[in-house]
């Protein structure tokens, strides 16, 4: 098949969950013998540097980008609020990107145009006008669910109504898009169910995040001393910041009260300065790390305190692939076909979180068993090859419709 992959940010280098999800799928489709053309948006936050792209990847994907300033503009945001347009989505539309897309679709024929995330859906009218390709929305997150959960947890009574309005606006837009595409590849079963409940006849499949297991060699666990608990994630994403502050304020003091030698390492891009400056027993905080896999491999237990996310957590799959024990909230583990107590530990409040940390600190054999079973889960259910086979079957199903 000839596939055009439209990305809301560069898939290379794969430095965060979204870019990894796109990159791994691109690579898997190429390995399966498909032709893939990548056209992405470069933004102030995420810019494509062709000098960083491997020659083979560059030649096979012919990756290119169009710069779009997606920075939040208060005047435009207020205008869209008044006109009921969705600023979260509309700021990703660019006339320059639209023109490049028109030229590309006029020059080349594609079997499938895959929209990576809801943010690329403003280009649907152009695709319909200039191509007969099937349009597949790969939904990385249900954006309205994230906003709904943020609104529920919003403590500022002035901001709460606005958060709720954004959530309703996003819900209406997200559901309307469902009827404008030929298929939806949801990243988790939960997200697929949300779409299915809309009542549309649009085909929906669950196509989760995958990894190449051979690239995630589990590290040797440190046998001496207590295990190191860790979190790694971009801190300019509100659900991550919200969860880490809760972990530090509500959970860690309970842990230290019983295990004074316990260690917690936190790292991530755009780490807030007050967290970098924070002095708390057993806690080490740093910003962006040079090599995420090396950082995770050198530590033992991943903690994922999320309450307002949606979709599927890429970092958990990576941690599992590395053979790490994982402690997560139900929201953090959403979309992963886990077995609680066998390949992951699920917590629902601060007391449970602290209790599980203390338990793993005391029982290294159980910690290793959790990591081993987590690795097995990734090998059987979340390998790139398995994910691509499922996507190919979905493409075929859409073509025959």
The reported pLDDT for the residue numbered 152 is 63
Q: Look over the chain and give the mean of its residue pLDDT values, rounded to a whole number.
A: 88
Question: What is the SS3 assignment for 300?
Answer: coil
Q: What is the mean pLDDT of residues 373-393?
A: 94
The reported pLDDT for the residue numbered 170 is 75
pLDDT confidence bin for 309, thresholds 50/70/90? low
pLDDT in tens, 152-169: 666 667 677 766 777 777
- How many CB atoms neighbour CB 274 within 10 A? 9
- Cite the DSSP H helix spans in 225-327: 238-246, 252-258, 273-276, 292-297, 314-321
pLDDT in tens, 65-83: 999 988 755 444 444 444 4
Cα–Cα distance list, 95 to 57, 64, 117 (Å): 27, 16, 19
Q: What is the mean pLDDT of residues 191-215?
A: 88
The reported pLDDT for the residue numbered 195 is 82
* Pairing mode of beta strands 228-232, 263-267: parallel
The reported pLDDT for the residue numbered 154 is 61
Residue 173 or residue 125, greater confidence? 125
User: What DSSP designation does 217 have?
Assistant: P
The reported pLDDT for the residue numbered 148 is 61
Percent of the chain with pLDDT over 70: 88
The reported pLDDT for the residue numbered 79 is 43
Strand-pairing partners, residue 137, are 115, 184
Residue 368 and residue 371: Cα distance in Å, rounded?
5
- Asked whether residue 347 carries a pLDDT value surpassing 80, the answer given is yes
- Asked whether residue 44 carries a pLDDT value surpassing 70, the answer given is yes
User: Terminus-to-terminus CA distance in the chain, angstroms?
Assistant: 17
Could you tell me the strand order of the sheet in which 301-304 lies?
A: 283-286, 263-267, 228-232, 301-304, 325-328, 345-346
Residue 199 or residue 214, greater confidence? 214
Q: Do domains 2-210+383-399 and 214-381 have the same CATH topology?
A: yes
Residue 12 and residue 166: Cα distance in Å, rounded?
30
Place of tokens 């801190």: 235
pLDDT in tens, 210-224: 899 999 988 655 455
pLDDT confidence bin for 187, thresholds 50/70/90? confident
The domain defined by 2-210+383-399 folds into: Rossmann fold (3.40.50)
Closest CA to 100 of 35, 157, 39: 39
Give the residue extent of every domain in the chain. 2-210+383-399, 214-381
pLDDT in tens, 240-250: 999 999 999 99
Domain spanning 214-381: which superfamily?
A: Glycogen Phosphorylase B; (3.40.50.2000)
The reported pLDDT for the residue numbered 142 is 61
The reported pLDDT for the residue numbered 81 is 43
The reported pLDDT for the residue numbered 74 is 47
Q: Mean pLDDT highest for which of 215-219, 311-315, 362-366?
A: 362-366
The beta strands (E) that lie in 121-261 are given as 134-139, 183-186, 204-206, 228-232
Closest CA to 66 of 46, 51, 80: 46
- Asked whether residue 199 carries a pLDDT value surpassing 80, the answer given is no
The reported pLDDT for the residue numbered 196 is 85
Residue 8 and residue 46: Cα distance in Å, rounded?
9
- Asked whether residue 302 carries a pLDDT value surpassing 90, the answer given is yes
pLDDT confidence bin for 58, thresholds 50/70/90? very high
Lowest mean pLDDT: which of 18-27, 93-102, 193-202? 193-202
- Cite the DSSP H helix spans in 205-282: 238-246, 252-258, 273-276
Do 129 and 22 form a contact (C-beta atoms < 8 A)? Answer: no
The reported pLDDT for the residue numbered 145 is 62
Do 305 and 244 form a contact (C-beta atoms < 8 A)? Answer: yes
Closest CA to 291 of 313, 318, 311: 318
The reported pLDDT for the residue numbered 75 is 42
């Amino acid at each position: 098949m000839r596939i055009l992959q439209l990305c809301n940010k560069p898939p290379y280098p794969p430095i965060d969950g979204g870019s990894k999800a796109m990159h791994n799928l691109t690579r898997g489709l190429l390995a399966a013998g498909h032709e893939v053309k990548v056209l992405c948006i470069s933004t102030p936050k995420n810019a494509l540097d062709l000098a960083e792209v491997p020659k083979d990847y560059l030649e096979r994907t012919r990756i290119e980008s169009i710069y779009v300033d997606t920075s939040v503009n208060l005047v435009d945001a207020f205008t869209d609020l008044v006109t009921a347009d969705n600023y979260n989505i509309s700021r990703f539309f660019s006339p320059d990107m639209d023109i490049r897309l028109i030229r590309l679709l006029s020059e080349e024929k594609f079997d499938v145009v895959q929209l990576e995330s809801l943010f690329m859906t403003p280009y649907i009218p152009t695709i319909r006008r200039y191509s007969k390709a099937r349009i597949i929305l790969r939904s990385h997150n249900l954006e309205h669910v994230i906003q709904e959960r943020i609104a529920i947890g919003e403590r500022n009574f002035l901001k709460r109504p606005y958060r709720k309005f954004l959530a309703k606006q996003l819900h209406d837009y997200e559901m309307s898009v469902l009827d404008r595409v030929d298929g939806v590849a949801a990243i988790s079963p939960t997200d697929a169910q949300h779409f299915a409940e809309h009542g549309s006849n649009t085909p929906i499949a669950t196509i989760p995040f995958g990894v190449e297991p051979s690239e995630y060699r589990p590290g040797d666990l440190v046998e001496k001393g207590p295990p190191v608990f860790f979190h790694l994630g971009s801190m300019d994403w509100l659900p991550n910041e919200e969860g880490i502050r809760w972990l530090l304020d509500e959970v860690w003091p309970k842990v230290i009260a019983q295990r004074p030698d316990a260690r917690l390492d936190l790292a991530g891009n755009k780490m807030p300065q007050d967290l970098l400056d924070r002095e708390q027993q057993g806690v080490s905080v740093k910003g962006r790390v040079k090599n995420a896999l090396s950082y995770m491999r050198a530590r033992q237990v991943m903690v994922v305190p999320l309450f307002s996310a949606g979709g599927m957590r890429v970092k958990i799959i990576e941690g599992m692939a590395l053979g790490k024990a994982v402690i997560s909230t139900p929201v953090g583990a959403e979309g992963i076909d886990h077995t609680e107590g066998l390949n992951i530990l699920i917590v629902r409040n601060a007391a449970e979180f602290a209790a599980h940390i203390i338990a793993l600190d005391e029982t290294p054999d159980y910690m290793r068993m959790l990591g081993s079973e987590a690795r097995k889960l990734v090998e059987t259910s979340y390998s790139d090859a398995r994910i691509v086979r499922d996507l190919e079957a979905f493409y075929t199903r859409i073509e025959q419709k």
